[in-house]
Structure 1
Amino acid sequence: MNILTGNDLKTGAVTWWTGSDWSLHVDDATDVGDQADAILAREVAARRVNSAYAITAEHTGGGVRPAHIKDRIRALGPTVRPDLTLKPADPEARDWVI
């Protein structure tokens, strides 16, 4: 599975391509197959995302899991303090991301 990640231009938050928009939730990421370059070109040109790139991931029983440790950290947050991990379903998470 190939998914897209980047940073929101307004907030700098890590975002994931959903197939129609960008989300803070890695589990919302959708497989782009071989369309990564076309989607990235369109989204970067529209200035909706910065530093976007395609990564390899797999869909597991626990959700979408990026293959590389760097992208897992981008998806889940700090590795040393689990209490700081981004929990996008938490309504208060938006307060400190923005």
Structure 2
Amino acid sequence: MKLLTGNDLPTGDVIWWTGQTWSRHVEEACDVGAGGEAIASTEEGARRVNGPYVIDATLTADGPRPAHIKDRIRALGPTVRPDLTLKPADPTAGSWVI
């Protein structure tokens, strides 16, 4: 399984390709297969994502799981503050209040 990830231009958030748009939640990511590089090029050219790249992942009961620890950390959020990790079921997760 291959996933496409990058960063959101306005916020810098880690985002994942869903097949139609981008999501902050890896659980919504889809398998891009061999077409990932073409999608990355198109999306970066349209300035919808910064630094997109394709990664290896495995499909689990909870959705896609990035194969490399770096991308698992990017998918789940900070490792030093469990209260800051992304919570896909919470619609306000990641809404920064300053």
| Number of residue pairs matched by the alignment | 97
Question: For 1:25-75, what per-residue CA distance to the aligned partner results, in whole angstroms no more than 9, with x for missing partners?
Answer: 101110011001110110000000001100000111122100000000000
Work out whether 1:33 is the aligned partner of 2:25. no
**Superposition TM-score, scaled by structure 2 size:** 0.92
2:33 & 2:86 partners in 1: Cα distance?
A: 27
1:16 & 1:23 partners in 2: Cα distance?
A: 5
Note the residue ranges of structure 1 that are not aligned, 5 or more in a row.
none
In the alignment, what sits opposite 1:10?
Answer: 10
- 2:19 corresponds to which letter in structure 1? G
Q: How far 1:94 moved relative to its partner?
A: 4.0
2:8 & 2:42 partners in 1: Cα distance?
A: 15
In the alignment, what sits opposite 2:70?
Answer: 70
In the alignment, what sits opposite 2:45?
Answer: 45
Distance of aligned partners of 1:94 and 1:81 in 2 relative to their CA distance in 1, 3 Å threshold: closer
1:64 & 1:27 partners in 2: Cα distance?
A: 6
Q: Report the RMSD for the aligned CA atoms in angstroms.
A: 1.4
The runs of at least 4 consecutive aligned structure 1 residues that moved more than 2 Å come to none
1:80 & 1:4 partners in 2: Cα distance?
A: 25
1:54 & 1:26 partners in 2: Cα distance?
A: 13
- 1:56 corresponds to which letter in structure 2? D
In the alignment, what sits opposite 1:84?
Answer: 84
